[in-house]
Amino acid sequence: MKNLSLALNGVLLVAVAILYFLHFSNSSNSGQGGSALTSGEKPLIAFINADSVLKHYKYLDVKRKELEEKTKKMEQEYRARTEGLQNEINNYQRNVGNMTLSQVRAVEEDLQRKQQNLRLYEQSLTQELMAEESKLNKELYDRVTAFLKKYGQTHGLHIVLKFDPTSDVLFAGDSLDITSDVIRGLNEEYDKQDGVKAPSDSTTR
């Protein structure tokens, strides 16, 4: 079914910058205002490479495969119905010369009804897939942002930015890159929550 395709490139993580303003009351930071960081201080801003997170996050890989399998089954079912209807149309065309006018009208009305039902079925499949993709987008966004909030609180970060060719960040030093930590943490959290044994971590940016 040509109109049915995955739209995971529109995942919310890629579409928006993940931005958290966390409020800290640590006395060592009080009174500093907007002054620059002094030597030895940890940066308050970090970034993640969104493409790498999407590529290496186990949760997304599993969900993508599930959605692809569901899409394949839908396409097979749609193809079977389309072929069945086409066979009926071919049979009608072969035998129309031997049919009465009333029979022709009845068959044509039946075929038109089946064609309309097939179009409605295709629309329902498309809507179902769109709903599944929207649900996956939200779950992915919620998982990543929830992890980043905890990560930011633990590491004293005020802002975590998305860094890829579509972002407004033109340059960021390697010391601000927390991509590997985030991928590792997300996968460890996924393994723990979903009861999957974690393989050895060989993730690279």
> Residue 195's pLDDT is what?
57
Q: Does residue 169 sit within a domain? A: yes
* pLDDT profile of the chain (205 residues), mean per 10: 37 33 35 38 81 94 95 96 96 92 95 97 96 95 95 92 83 89 95 63 46
**CA 37 to centroid of chain Cα atoms:** 37
Range of the domain at 23: 8-31+40-194
Count of beta carbons in the 10 Å neighbourhood of residue 30: 9
Beta strand residue intervals within 44-193, DSSP E: 45-49, 159-163
> Residue 153's pLDDT is what?
92
Identity of the residue numbered 107: V
Q: Does residue 103 sit within a domain? A: yes
Q: Does residue 85 sit within a domain? A: yes
Q: Does residue 202 sit within a domain? A: no
Q: Does residue 203 sit within a domain? A: no
The CATH number of the domain holding residue 153 is: 3.30.910.20
Q: Which residues are registered as beta bridge partners of 45? A: 159
Q: Does residue 167 sit within a domain? A: yes
Q: Does residue 151 sit within a domain? A: yes
> Residue 69's pLDDT is what?
96
Per-residue exposure over 155-194, b if at least 16 CB sit within 10 Å of its own CB, e if not = ebbbbbbbbbeebeeeeeeeebbbbbebbebbbebbeeee
Number of domains in the chain: 1
Q: Does residue 51 sit within a domain? A: yes
